[in-house]
Each structure stands twice: as C-alpha cells, then as structure tokens.
Structure 1
Amino acid sequence: MTLLLSAAQSSAEIGGITGWAVDTVEALGGIGVALMIALENVFPPLPSEIILPLAGFTASLGTTYSLAGAIIWATFGSLLGAWILYGLGRWFGRERTRAIFQRLPLVKISDVDATEAWFHKHNQSTVFFGRMLPIFRSLISLPAGVIKMNMVLFTVYTALGSLVWNSVLICAGYLLGEKWNVVNQYVDILVKIVVIAVILALAVWVIIRIRARRRG
C-alpha cells in the first residue's frame, strides 16, 4: 500500500466517490487531478474539498508533481469543466430557457428579463466570485453560456476565480500533510452556510411573490 493511500485512510474512511478520487489521483498524478476537477465541475457531488487537499498532500511528497504543478493541473481541470457547462448553456439557448421559466409557478417573465440584464451587467465579477462559492462555482457557467458571454472573458475570469479556490485548498493540503482531510470539515461548514442562505432567500422570494399575487 502506498504512502498516499495510507495517509488517506488515516484521515478518513476511504470508499465510494472519495475512494475513487483517491485512486484516480494516485494512478494518474496531475492528469488525474485535472480529470477529477473537470468532472467535479460538471457533476458537483464529486468533492473538490477532498480532491484538492489530496492533490496538495501528494505535492508535498515530491514524487508526482510540485505544488505549482498541482495548482496548474487543477485550474486546467476547472477550465475544462466550465467550458463544458458553458457550451451546454450556449447550446440550450436563451429562448428555451425563457420558455421553461415561463411555465414555472410564481415566476414572471420580467424576473427572467431582470436576471438576464443583471448578469449582462455584472457577468465578469459574477463568474470570478462565483468560482469561489460551493454549488455556484459549477452552476455559474450555465447562465454565462445562455447569455453568450464573451468566451475569452469567461475563460479569463473562470481561470482567475478557480486559481484562488484551487490554490487555497491545495496549499492547505500541502501544509497539513497527512492531516489533509481536515480541510473537508471547514469546507463543509461553508457549504452549509451557502445552502441555508439560498433556502432563506428562496423562501423570502416565494412569500413576497405569493403576497403580491393575493393582493393582485
């Protein structure tokens, strides 16, 4: 059993998606990191909070890739995943998106117009900061594709935002060494905060819309 797998097992119970991520990074090195992060962007249940610190710990061993290499591979993977979702959003298109939202209860087409206008105005900062937020870091690529955000700008701001997120988690894993899995506990807290904020915002929006409809 390798040092990498032994350290992973000492940090957490290996199995399921996490075990697969560990095995892939161990077998493929930097390419494995890029592949896992690309898939994590398309399929969010894959845990970047496991993959990235693990990549940092692997870099600390100095046998597969360097710290800079881990960050570069991870950011490349982030771009690949983001390009896929951007392409899907662009293919799906504005008119299909509007048609779907028109059929949703409590949603007005003016809501869609306002959201679209806001994203057009703030797309650069939204993509940049969105890449650092759990849940949104993957989903943000879809509306960017739907409104046909400039591909070069999308790539630049996705790369910059991903670079920040990837660097923080990879460096944490690098510094923590065999305790790299501790990072997962803190990211889980951030995920819960984001989920609660989204649920509260959605609840407030639904209440306001129902009251407005009743008054109407």
Structure 2
Amino acid sequence: MIPGYISILLLLIVSILWATGWRDILLPNMRTGWTAAVALAIAVLLAFPLWTSPIASEPAVEVHVSAWLLLAASAILLWRTAQDSQRGYLMLCALMLAIVWGSARSLYSHETMFYWMDPLWDMPLLAGLLCGAFTSDSRHQLVLVAWGAALGEFVVALFREGVIHARIGAWEWWDSVAIAFCSAVAVTVLLKAARAVGVWISAAWMYVRGGRSS
C-alpha cells in the first residue's frame, strides 16, 4: 500500500463526518479552529523534506518538522486541558504505550508470522484500544497517540542491532498515528453507545416491572 494513503483516507472521512455534524459525537472536546489550523499546517509541512536530527551523536534518528508540530500541539493540549493529577498519569500512559508499541514493532521486524490482522495495522489498533481504556477524552487520546508513536520509534531503534535508525514523521508513521487515533475514538464512541443502550434497557425494564406491579 502507498505510504500516506491511509492517513489521507482517514482524514477525508473524519473531515466529512465533522462537516456533517458528527463532531459532537466523535470529537466533542476538539475545537474546530484549532484542529483545522494544526491539520492544515501539518499538511503543508509534509510537502517539504524538512528533517531534523535531535540527537547529534545519532544522525540516523530523524524527526520531521510536521511531527515536531504535532508533538508541540499535543504537549500544549496536555498542559492546558489536564489537571495536575492527570498529567503524570497521562505521561505514564504515553510511556507504557511507547514501550508496547516499540516492542511489538520490533517483534514484527524479526518475525512477521505472528500477526493478528496485518503488521501495519496491528500495533496502531492495539494502541487505539489501550488509549480508549486509558482515557475517554479525545484530546488526551491525541496526546497519548502522538507521544506514544514518537517514543515508540526510539524503542524500536534501541531493539535493532547495529546502526540506530528512526524516521519520526514519515508517511508510514503518520499512517500508524491516524489508525491509532481513529481506533481510540471509535472505542470511546462504542463504549458510550453501549452504556447508553444499557441505560435505556435498564430504564425500559424498570418501567415494565413498574407497570406490572401497579
């Protein structure tokens, strides 16, 4: 599959749903202006080969400027929306997500036969499930996915033999981020729907029982 195809496809789907009134269901805590500005800036930056090497001793570890923007935006989002007690918890969750992400990718790089759906999809889907379990706030899910995916690349690089190599912000990386974030949002929506159905069934059952007793 062409790198970046999944990211663009999911972005189009989310944009259509957002424009047709599904924002309050899918991403109720995201502000339209802020989200559109960051997404547009990332799309523009991805058109240019703006790579940086944050570690001077490891020039093979590269981070694209678009990834830096996402990490900075998610850090600001964490600082402005999370309480003091939540920040430590979310940072710990991001670290755990990075360890799981990097370990699974390292395993797939050595042996690809033990995959669930597809080596490209398995880890992002698992990350989305974990994010949905860690928090139901879409803003915090974005923080976990962004930092978990970035730190996970370093974990993968550490497990590799020989030269440490990582490209954070490549199209393949953005595909994983998009899959993980959409999976986390989907898990949250499904849990809310299941909870609402459960409440409705419970209320209907209590109404039926009340009607019979009277």
Could you state the TM-score of these two structures normalised by the residue count of structure 2? 0.35
Q: Name the structure where helix makes up a greater proportion of residues.
A: 1
